Structures are given as structure tokens and as C-alpha cells.
Amino acid sequence: RYSLYDVSKKGLTTTRKEKVLSYFTNNIYGLTASKYSRGRDNITVVKAMLKAGVKIIQYREKKYTRKIMLKEAREIRKLTREYNALFIVNDYIDLAIMSEADGIHLGQDDWPVQDTRSIVGENMIIGVSTHAPAQAEEAIRNGADYLGIGPVFSTNTKEDVCDAVGTEYVKYAAENAEIPWVAIGGIKEHNMYHVCKNGARCIAMVTELTMADDIEKKAQSVLRTLEELAKNS
């Protein structure tokens, strides 16, 4: 398991690796999705998540202009600093750099990890979405700092994502991944049990939080549930 991962083994900066190690245990990873936020803007959504105690925030925005994305990302950077939370930007390397994010998250069709590293430097965390063991192994080989493992259950939130990979892939990650990882895709409070039972300790959620009547309350409840599940498995 990744808790045994030797940070000095690959000669990578310990600050980056240690940051990931500490944040990806017993945490909820909250993502923005303006399309699925019931009219609430991304900043309002992020504030509610942070107030509840969510410690990893990903800015994931598809349809806004770059100007608006930069404004929002900078605002979220400010907020995540106040709450001592990790800030990750999805897809846009330039946006991650300009907003001084802690990390950049890449999909399978984005720029390769090594090329991204050459642009973002040694301090920025690089996460990669993976949907099968071979992709996980490749991402680790290429120097990813953490993996997305999913979609565990079926989801309509991400267009063009593959079919659900199930908890088998979560189990694979728990047993094999040498770096931290986050389970993602269709995860709700009511099915978290199956994900945690298979070894997940960091859970990513979009619509379970962004679509909630009261985002802060829902996030608090999810964090409590995660704590209970982690204790008992």
C-alpha cells in the first residue's frame, strides 16, 4: 500500500510527495461542476465544501471563458489557502500555473505526465485519471503523484468516460498502487461503504455534494461516514 511508499526511492521532491501522502488519507476530494450545481456558482459550492472540512478541491470547469476560469481559480486558491486545503486544477496546465494551484489533474487524453512535468516544475502535484490497471501502471511509471481510480459506479457527470469499472479496480489499487489514489465516479454517501470496504481512503465526489440541498451539511455527513468506515475496515 502507498502508506509504505518510500518518498526518497525515486528521487522526487519530498515536499510534493509528502503533501500528497498526507492529504490523500481519510479525505473527501470535492470537485466543482457548475452544470450540476443547481444554479449555485463555483465559489459558493467550494466555500460550503471547505467549511465542512473537505481538504482537497479540484476546479473542474468545461464551459467558461478562460478569463472567468482564471478569476474563479484564483478565488478558490485564496480560499483553499485559508482552509489549509489542497487545490488542484483539472486539464488546464496554464490555469494551474497562473492560479498557483498545488496540482494539475490529467485525463488519459491530456498531455503526457513527463511533458507536463517539464512545464509545471518539481513542486506541482500531477494526478492522472485511470480506468484500468495498465493505465495505473503507466501513470506511475511516468511519474504521476496520485491516481484517479474510476469510474467505480456509473455516472452521468463526466461525458465520454468509460463504463463503470466496479469495486474490483478499487481493490486492485488498494493492493497494488505504490502512490496515493482517489476513488471516483458515482460515489454517494449510501454506496461509500463498498468503496471503503475495498480499501479506499480518499473519495472523490461531484454530484453527491454539488447537487445537495445543503452542500455544507452533506459534506459534513459524508466526512463523518468516511471516518466511521475507515475505523471499521
Interface of this chain with ligand 3NM, residues 166 to 185, rule: CB under 6 A: 184-185
Site size for ligand 3NM (CB under 6 A): 16
Which of 88, 113, 139, 161 lies at the binding interface for ligand 3NM (CB under 6 A)? Answer: 161
Determine if 135 is a binding residue for ligand 3NM (CB under 6 A): no
Compute the least distance from the CB of residue 12 to ligand 3NM, in Å.
23
Q: Where are the beta strands (DSSP E) in the chain?
A: 27-31, 56-59, 86-90, 103-106, 125-130, 146-149, 181-183, 202-205
The Cβ of residue 230 has, within 10 Å, a number of other Cβ atoms equal to: 13
Determine if 30 is a binding residue for ligand 3NM (CB under 6 A): no
Q: Is the dihedral of CA 7, 12, 13, 15 positive or negative?
A: negative
Determine if 226 is a binding residue for ligand 3NM (CB under 6 A): no
Which residues are 59's β-sheet partners?
89
Q: Where are the alpha helices (DSSP H) in 53-206?
A: 66-82, 93-98, 113-120, 133-141, 167-176, 192-197
Determine if 207 is a binding residue for ligand 3NM (CB under 6 A): yes
Interface of this chain with ligand 3NM, residues 70 to 129, rule: CB under 6 A: 129
User: Which of 78, 124, 83, 134 lies closest to 103, judged by CA?
Assistant: 124
What CA–CA distance (Å, rounded) separates 110 from 129? 10
| Annotated catalytic residue within 17, 158, 201, 218 | 158
Compute the least distance from the CB of residue 51 to ligand 3NM, in Å.
20
What CA–CA distance (Å, rounded) separates 15 from 7? 9
Determine if 157 is a binding residue for ligand 3NM (CB under 6 A): yes
Closest CB to ligand 3NM among 122 and 206? 206
Q: Is residue 158 among the annotated active site residues?
A: yes
Compute the least distance from the CB of residue 177 to ligand 3NM, in Å.
15
Q: Is residue 118 among the annotated active site residues?
A: no
Determine if 201 is a binding residue for ligand 3NM (CB under 6 A): no
Q: Tell me which H or E stretch contains 107.
A: none
User: Could you tell me if 176 and 199 are in contact, meaning their C-beta atoms sit under 8 angstroms apart?
Assistant: no
Determine if 34 is a binding residue for ligand 3NM (CB under 6 A): no
Determine if 136 is a binding residue for ligand 3NM (CB under 6 A): no
Judged by DSSP in three states, 106 sits in strand
Closest CB to ligand 3NM among 12 and 225? 225
Binding site for ligand 3NM (CB under 6 A): 129, 148, 150-151, 155, 157-158, 161, 184-187, 205-208
For the annotated catalytic residues, the residue numbers are: 60, 129, 158
